[in-house]
Structures are given as structure tokens and as C-alpha cells.
Structure 1
């Protein structure tokens, strides 16, 4: 027992219990033999190991007989002291395939080895767990220089490695979920990443509140179950509880508005952790349905940092849910407002079924809202006859795409009708120029606050022009795109006599009446700029494309106004950036 008596006086960091464990080993039955036969090199190396305050080990001889100090004994669990003096390969079967070749290389070649943050499987608590170590192995030589063993020191870096990886995972989750526009997208991205990048945790589910969806009708909102799979029928009225909440455990500390909840399903043999409560006991079903819940299986407190990390993850998901639901609410409100505005705007415009059918003239119109905009624009058109007088047609476009533009559009449309009726002179024929001047003055007087393009035309139908039946078209143009005239021979031309200043800029702007004789069988097409404007293209190019499309519509007498409207919309669409109003008037 002489070696151990010497060790007791010089081991330093070794406790009496560890030295007693050394003395109880039947060393004669081991590869190194009884202590009395140990070489001076082994005794000196063992003294070094036992005196080292950090985890230190010694692998001796061909059998790699295993010696260790107090710092290692504290983490060996139930393997201490059974593996003391035993072959290392049999003592660590779960990690020897990784560590063994490294030790063999040091024994055979004498070169020290060092690894940083190396993954080492370790059997603890009845399961093999991933742990990380930084360790170094050095050869131990006998007096003659022969390599007889390997001395190793190690520091477990599992906590640091996991902290770094979890920080990287948080950043990756933030990047993956920051652009999510729906709760379903958030859930799929979050679960996929957690289950891939966090294998140490069995993530079961991510429960979230129901999303706010686009309005089903003007002024309403609807919600759908966030966790329901596509095509899955909605739950019955009595089945509104959060599934699983009665068997999930959680810690109530920190639960509050804006925070997520970490819940877990305990294993069959897992006791309730101190301070944990059933999730279903914390609030009503309605309250639970509004929470963001990260559900795991097993012990979420397997290490000291896992629970707080999962709470940060759950909180980040809760923040993302609040953001997405806010966006969904804004979209639902915008969709509701748009639907209501569009319904009002459409009600003010003549529809294809309500187009005026007047003696000697036929009209048709279309209104197409921009597909890429949530707002409603200020495009409008109108057609009405005067008593015993001409047919009046108007078209305009108030600048803007919002409720104010739509409201201004309604005001201008009503003002035009009133001014036309008030100014119709002998024979019931108003001056388009005078009507436009008065409308500009009314915009200023009533502080409508709108800038708009505008075109008003009056058509005297079935007049005799040089013995041939035809019409007289008289109009005024306030900055509006020029009408297109489709003659009875199929020729399309622009009635481009030069537009004047837009409405709403200078109320004293003088306006000019323009006039042209139109053969019977002709069709006049009025439109707003959304029909011809394209990004990166001159307006004249779009107008010329329209003129060509009108010319392709067919010979004048055979052209139906409805068909012409549909033809130009198809030829020049789709319309993503601006609303479009089209009005076709077939004359004679």
C-alpha cells in the first residue's frame, strides 16, 4: 500500500473518498498489477493526475487502464468507481470509437493531440447524450523514453457550445419568420427549423391564435383556425377547447400579454417538476385560444439554459404572431374598405346592363379596378339625355387612389349633371366648354380639393349633314386622353384637337368647344388613362396601341358597343397599376 500512502500526502486535489475508492480496487486483477509493482513513471503520472484541479485522466499501457481525478469522478455518475482501473474501451463504449483512435495515435507516435469543442457521446441518466469537450492528450514516457501511457485534461464546453448554437438558431428563426405573412407560413417555418436544428428537444407543436382573414363582405372580418390543416373540416361548436391543454404542464411565472408559453408533455415516468401547473388551469378556453404555445415532450429543464432559451423562442413567436395578425387586420380592413368603396363607386357608374339605349345611339361602359391596388380610384363616366335635346356623355379621373378620390368623384359627377341641366340653352344644347368652366369654378368654390381630367361631349343624333344621316359631336377636354373615333369603314382615328388644363388648378381657365361631324354608323370610345398608361412607356405609345386595337374591332356598322369595350380591355389588359373606365357610344 506504499504508493497510496504516498498519494495521500501529495495528491492535493484528491478527496479522502476518492483515495479510498482507489484502495478498494483489486489492482492485482487489473492489467497494471498490484500497486507495489507500479513503475515510478506510473506513480508520478498518477500523482500529477490526482493533484490537477481540472478534469484529468490517465490511460496506461496496452489495455488503456483508466485512472482519473476528483473533477472527473464528479461527472461520471453511477460509473464511478466501477470503471476505476478498468480498460477504457469497455468503460466508454458509446464514445470509444471517437476517442480511442486519438489515444492510440498518441501512444504510437508520441505526438500530443488537442481538440476544441469536440462532440462526444456520453451515457448519462440512462440515455446517450451529446456533450462537447475541449481536451488535450500528451504522451507519458518511462525513464528510458518509452511511451507507456497518455495523460489527458479536458474541459466540458457543452454549455458554451449550446449557447452559441441556440443564439445562431434564434437568429435563423428570426430571419426565417420575419417575412412570414401568414400564421401557417410562420408555423411551418418554425417547426421545420426547430425539429432540424434542435434535435435535443422533441418539439411537438406550435399552437397559435386564429388568423384574421380578408373580409367576406364589406365591413366584416372572418377568422379561421390557425392550426387546421388544408381541407380539414372546422371543429364542431362544442369542440372549441385547445387540444392537449389538459395534459400539458408549464411554469406560470412570466406568462402575460406579449409573451409566449412553453408547455410540455411529460413522459410516462416523469414526475411533475416543482412549481409546474397544468396549462388548462391557467385560464379559460377563450384565453388559451389567444395564446402562442410552444409544446415540447419530455424535460424542458434538461440543462439549466434550455428552459430560458425555449421561453425566448416562444416569446419571439408570440411577437411574430402579433405582427402577422396586425398585418392581417390591416389587410382585412383595407379589403373591407375597398369592397365598400368599390360597391359605392360601381353603384354610381352605369353598368353594362344599365347602359342607356337611346334613339339613334347605343352606349356601353366598363369599369375595371386595378388588380395591384387595395385602394379605389377616382375614375368615373356618365351618360344621360336632355329633354328633347342631345345625348350628354362625360368621363373623368380624379387624381388619387383612396376614399377621398372616390368621394370627390361622386361630387364632380353630381355637379356635372346639375350644371348641364342649368346651362342647357335653346334647343336643349349646353356648351361643353361653359359646363367645364363652371365645374372648375364649383370645385374651387366648394373646396372639393380635387385635381381631375375631364371630358364632356354632347351628341346631336340623327341630324342631316349634307343630305347624309349623321351626328354632330361637340366636346370640351380638360387634360383628358383624346377620344377614339371608329368610322363606318373600320378606320380608327383620334379626336385630338389638343387638351386644355386639368380641373382643380386654375378656376379661371377659359375652355374651348370642339366640334366634328360624325357619319352614321360610327362609334366614339372614351376612356381613362389607366387603359393606355404603362410603366416605362410614353403615353402617346399607349394611345396609339389603343387606336390600333379599335381599328381591329371590325367595320363600324357591325361593331357592338359592348363588344368594343370588351375587345379593348382584352387587347390592352391586364391593368395592375390604375383603374380603367371605358365608355363606347355607337351613333346612328
Structure 2
């Protein structure tokens, strides 16, 4: 058998040192033909193979099997499997004895098999098969184990899943507390990698919360963060953010005692901390952006409101006005209302919209509003259509790049009987009339061309009598228009919303309309008058 051991490669000298006669297998010269043949076959493959022979299941294995058992080699050679793998025996013992007793070969994939092979009980995974080896009399003499370690693949798959779920959970968080509340359940569920996990949003100087243990810790730097070891307990502390005041957010995790502290484990830990750190940075940036946008919005809204007239209280008609900016932050537009008395005591009301949603649109709105006021005062008592023609001429002469829609209406009467409403519509949504009995209808005579397009266009005038209690609602398109919804549906909606609202006061009516228009995407200017 001397030449036989010479064929075992680097294991040959190890086999030579084993006192086989002292093992249950006996001297090599006494080995059965089945054992010799199988060992010869086993040593000629580069796949990890071990034989567990005889009733005691004594180990004989090839060179490729040595990395799988690490520190158990070479003492495992010639030793019963139960003594080599006591930590895994509750799992593998019944499987081995089943095959030894004549059962079929086994097959398990990515099976958890704990091994004490590097100085600690290690979390390991294997794909392996136990197959019977029979002698000439067909009796099962031993069990062949063909195995592949899949620990790296199983751990990588598990950790990739955690990182993917973590990134999904953190994608849209808005607050540090939300980041912590979304991340911690995932980290604590990953008990195989992190038996304990915590995210501390505010720790002065990175100090750990809680009492300081008496026993000193061995501290090792991890590139960023530190690893503290006290006995078998290893705790990693990784900073997630810091401020100029010295406060830090920390990821604090206890590392598994069953995993080697290798580059893969530490790299995974750093990736988890990086995901949390990036989420906190996004929260910080979004918070700063929201704050800046809110400041800009406040400034813009204040600017636009400063361009709108102060409410003029009049006994008849009653008037209420509203301006509601668009939902988008820092967005202002060209919507406006206006109301002013002329020299004969008649009231002029205007609702309008200059194209655009920015400071330029708001400035253009103020320019058109002032033009319209000036022309109305100058041309009084001309009809509304003539006033709008005058505005066309001024706009095309002085503000050729501005286009606007508007309804200009004049309210007149002696204050005792019905009022008269005369109006002209320059491409604007039609006013809504609410009868004293609650019936509603659009004042939808065909609108004329927008303002600022053609100085020669004709402009029509329309007239309606307003008995006491009649209400007229003027509004901009932000109240009725929705993305992807025809304008006709918006007009039908406002008529329906205002039906039977005649008992509401003009202020209540404004609030009712704005509450009903919950999905508004644009600025809204609103003017309600009641005869």
C-alpha cells in the first residue's frame, strides 16, 4: 500500500502518520476491496469527498475535503464521524445511519450544518449527498459524502435581499425618525447577521447610551466606526451623520458570534451603514429644499396678494373674494380679481388670468390689471366690451408679449330693486348664476378672443337682471380644470356644486367652493357677488 499512499498528493504523508491499526478500520492491509476501490476513486477526483466507513462511520477523505473541515483536519482522519462532528450530529447522524441501514441515497441543498472548525461554532451551509457503498455481498459497508460548501452563496443571497428591502424602505422617507422606524424592523429581523441592532438618532460625541461595562473592551477601527469586543460579544458602532455641534447618529449592531469577521461580513456591515447614511442625507437635503421652497412660496404668495386689491365693503351687492395659490411650492401665477367703484357709483368687477406660473406672470397680471382700471375709468360710461377693446389697444401697443383672459362686469341699480349686470367675456370661463330659489346656470354666451391678441376684434356685451338674492360667481380656470379632464366636465361640476347653495352667505359660498375643489392643481381667484 506504500505506493497507494504516494498517490494521495499532499495527504499522502498525513495518511502515513495515522495508526490505522488503532482505528476501527484496522491496518490498511486488512481493508476490504470495496474500501480500497472507493478510496482510490475518491482520491482521483477534485470534488470534496469523504467516506464514513463501517458501523462507526470512520472518516477517510480526499484533499479537496480538507478546506470544508478546516481545523478538524488531520485529527478527523480515521476518527468516527460522531466524534468529528458532534455539533452537527443531531442533523447528520440520522441521515448517515439511514443510508448505512440500506435506505436510499440522500440529497440536501443549502442545508444549515453548524461546524466548530475555526475555533468557534460557525454558521455553515452545504449541498451534499450521502450514498451507500456496497461490498461484494451487496452489504452496505460505508457511506460516501459528496459535498459542496454553499455558505458564501447563502450569506450573499440573504444579505443582498436585506439590502434591497432596506433601500426600498428608505427610498422615500422624509424624517430621521421615519428612517429609523422603517429600517430597524428589517435589521432586527436579520438576527443571523445582527443579533441586536439599534439606530441612535442623537448621541453626543458618538457615546453609547446606557451604563459603561466594568470590563475593558478591545477597540478596533473599521475605517469608519469602531468594533468593540468584550469576551464573545462584538459590537460595531458606525456613524451615520454628524453635525458641527458634535452630535452624531449611530448604527449600533451586535455581530453574530457564529460568523467569521471577514471582509465579506464587514463589507456587508458597511453597505448597511451606507444605505442608512444616504437615507439620512436625502432627508437632510429634502428638509432644506422644503424649507427653502416654503420660504419662496411665502414670499411669492405675499407678493401676489400685494397685487390684489383690498376688499371694498358694499351694502349691495354683497361681495366676497378669495385667492388660493397653487399646491406646488414657490409657484405663483397670473390669476387675479379686481373691484372698484366708478364715478356714478356703479361697481366694476373683474376676474382674469394671465398665461404663465412664475414671477413674470404675476408682474404681467399687475400690468394688465392696472391697464384695465385706467381704461375703465377713462372710458366710463362705455359698455364693458368697449372697455376691453381699449385694453386690447393698450396691451398691443405697450405689452405685446402678454396674453390674458378676463371677464369685465358692471353692476348698476338704484339700491332698491333688481340690479343689472352687464359683462363682456374675453376667452374666460363663464360666470355662474344662482337664482334666488337655488337653480344654477352658466352665463355662457360665446366668449370673445383673449385680450392682447387683436386690437381690431369685436367684443360683445351681455346683460342680465339680478333680482334680490341672485348670486353671480366669477372664477379662474384653476377651480374647474383637472389634468386629463375635459373643460365641459369642469363646468358641469361647478354648476352641480353650486346647486341649492342660495342660502349660503357669500363668504360661506367661497369657502364651500374651495373645499369642494380639493384636487386643484392651479391658482384660483374667486369673486362672488349677491344682489
TM-score by length of 1: 0.74
- Counterparts of 2:348 and 2:254, CA distance in 1: 75
**Cα displacement string for residues 544-577 of structure 1 (whole angstroms, at most 9, x for unaligned residues):** 554455452347xxx643234344445x433433
**RMSD across aligned positions (CA):** 4.1
1:5-404 aligned at under 5 Å gives the runs 8-17=5-14, 19-20=16-17, 22-23=18-19, 27-28=21-22, 31-33=24-26, 38-43=31-36, 45-46=38-39, 55-69=48-62, 72-73=65-66, 76=69, 79-80=72-73, 82-109=75-102, 111-125=104-118, 127-180=120-173, 182-197=175-190, 199-202=192-195, 204-206=197-199, 227=201, 240-244=204-208, 249-252=220-223, 261=224, 263-269=225-231, 286=244, 294-298=251-255, 302-349=261-308, 355-358=311-314, 360-371=316-327, 375-404=331-360
Q: CA deviation at 1:201?
A: 3.7
SS of the aligned residue for 2:371 comes to helix
SS of the aligned residue for 1:154 comes to strand
**Cα displacement string for residues 158-205 of structure 1 (whole angstroms, at most 9, x for unaligned residues):** 224433444454444444444545554444444433443572344634
Q: Does 1:473 align with 2:421?
A: yes
Q: Does 1:565 align with 2:489?
A: no
Aligned residues: 522
- Counterparts of 2:147 and 2:336, CA distance in 1: 81
Q: Which runs of 5+ in 1 are unaligned?
A: 208-226, 229-238, 253-260
Q: CA deviation at 1:395?
A: 0.9
Q: CA deviation at 1:148?
A: 0.9
8 A contact 1:379–1:396 mirrored in 2: yes
Q: CA deviation at 1:469?
A: 3.2
Aligned with residue 411 of structure 1, among 357, 367, 382:
367
8 A contact 2:193–2:255 mirrored in 1: no
Q: CA deviation at 1:82?
A: 5.0
Q: Which runs of 5+ in 2 are unaligned?
A: none
- Counterparts of 1:547 and 1:141, CA distance in 2: 92
Equivalent in the alignment of 2:528: 584
1:450-529 aligned at under 5 Å gives the runs 450-462=402-414, 469-487=417-435, 492-529=440-477
Specify whether residues 284 and 369 from structure 1 end up closer, same or farther in structure 2 by C-alpha distance, changes over 3 A only: closer
8 A contact 2:122–2:260 mirrored in 1: no
